[in-house]
Amino acid sequence: MERYLSNYADYPDKDQLLQSIEEAVPAEYLPVLEKVCFCMITPDAMLQGDWSNILRYLDEKGFRFLGCQIKQHFREWEKEEVYRYNLNEGHATWWFNKEVFSLGPSLGLLVYREDGANVFEEIHKLKGDANPRKASRETIRGRFKAVNTAMNIFHSSDDPVASYREARVFFTPEEINRHLKYFTEGKHITWEYIYTLIKTDATCAAIPIQELSPYPVFAKIKIAVLQRLLRSTLIRDDEDMVRTLQQMESLYQRIGELRIYGSQELPAVDLQDEIAILEELMQKFDGEPLPLNDFPKAREILETQQLILASLELSHYERMGQIPFEKIWESLLVCDVIMTPKEKLLLETGYTYGFFYV
């Protein structure tokens, strides 16, 4: 086990980490840790109903299961433990990785290779690139409904030290030792057994299958903004503008029907015309004096400005990752466009990691 500590040379607690493992695991099972890898099917895959396909695919590719555990709720330290070294290295995905755990249950797995191959290397190859757009279609992330770099449906440990530490979030030390003992006895559980276990879990069974795609969320905002603008007394008398906004609404209805996952090619989009229209509208209302003696009209002008500005910000794909989402959510809320936490996460990760070719 000591040779794996070189992966943690920069971390002050590396010696305590090894000591804690050696104290918890009987000496005869320590070598087994090098043959057993902790994996996790994350909430995005669970909600989309892909978990059973992933289990079956792992089995087809020669992985066998020693243990499984469903986890519904994560405490803050548990979220940080799973992605602990990503957090220490300042990975930009950390905040999103952590938020994904709030979406629903996760499935923790202990797996090994039936053919004796290096389980960590093999699972790393099979899960695919963290960015599903770059993942091969033969990998888990390229094949199934991985949305983006943060919502990429599957996690696996890099080495035996990380595997034990991360497994402790799902399993007690006694449970881990029992599963290691199963390995020495040649025992394992089938993917069908895990499938039945999850299907009979009351909480999991009560969760409806949900589609996690940023496109319907993006379209929802754009359409809601456009419909609100079309109701505005400041716009509805301008027939040309009404016609233009209606055409834009039709475009976003089509975008809302897009479902792009895994390594499927992203759609191209050119919204330069829309940006020009919104900028023209913004200039028009920027110069609109607020009637101090007519509060309803003054409020309508301000709300219209907020809506146009929010929609304009969301059309600038060249500024992906720099969108001021908190300001946008506030503007939309004031104008009665309600966003759920899941929708916010889908849209923020969509913009951060790209869901259009520009």
Q: Quote the pLDDT of residue 170.
A: 93
The pLDDT score that the predictor gives to residue 11 is 64
Q: Domain boundary residue among 205, 226, 259? A: 205
Domain of 88: which CATH number? Answer: 3.30.70.141
Do 284 and 328 have their domain in common?
Answer: yes
Average pLDDT over residues 97-120: 91
- Given 138, 173, 205, the domain boundary residue is 205
Q: Kindly tell me if the per-residue pLDDT of 75 is higher than 80.
A: no
Residue in 107, 117, 136, 95 with CA at minimum distance from that of residue 34: 117
The pTM for the full model equals 0.86
Rounded average pLDDT over 47-57: 96
**Structural domain total, the chain:** 2
- Is 358 contained in some domain? no
Mean of all residue pLDDT scores within the chain: 86
Of 205, 223, 253, the residue that ends a domain is: 205
pLDDT in tens, 322-343: 788 888 888 888 778 888 889 9
Beta carbons of 221 and 249 less than 8 angstroms apart: no
User: Does 175 share its domain with 33?
Assistant: yes
Same structural domain, 134 and 261: no
Tokens of 178: 């029992």
Specify whether 17 is located in the same domain as 153: yes
* Residue-level pLDDT at 59: 98
CA neighbor of 221 nearest in space, from 41, 89, 33, 351: 351
- Is there a domain that residue 71 lies in? yes
Please give the pLDDT value at position 351.
84
For residues 229 and 161, membership in a common domain is answered with no
Domain that holds residue 321: 214-353
Same-domain pairing of 142 and 219: no
Q: Does residue 160 form part of some domain? A: yes
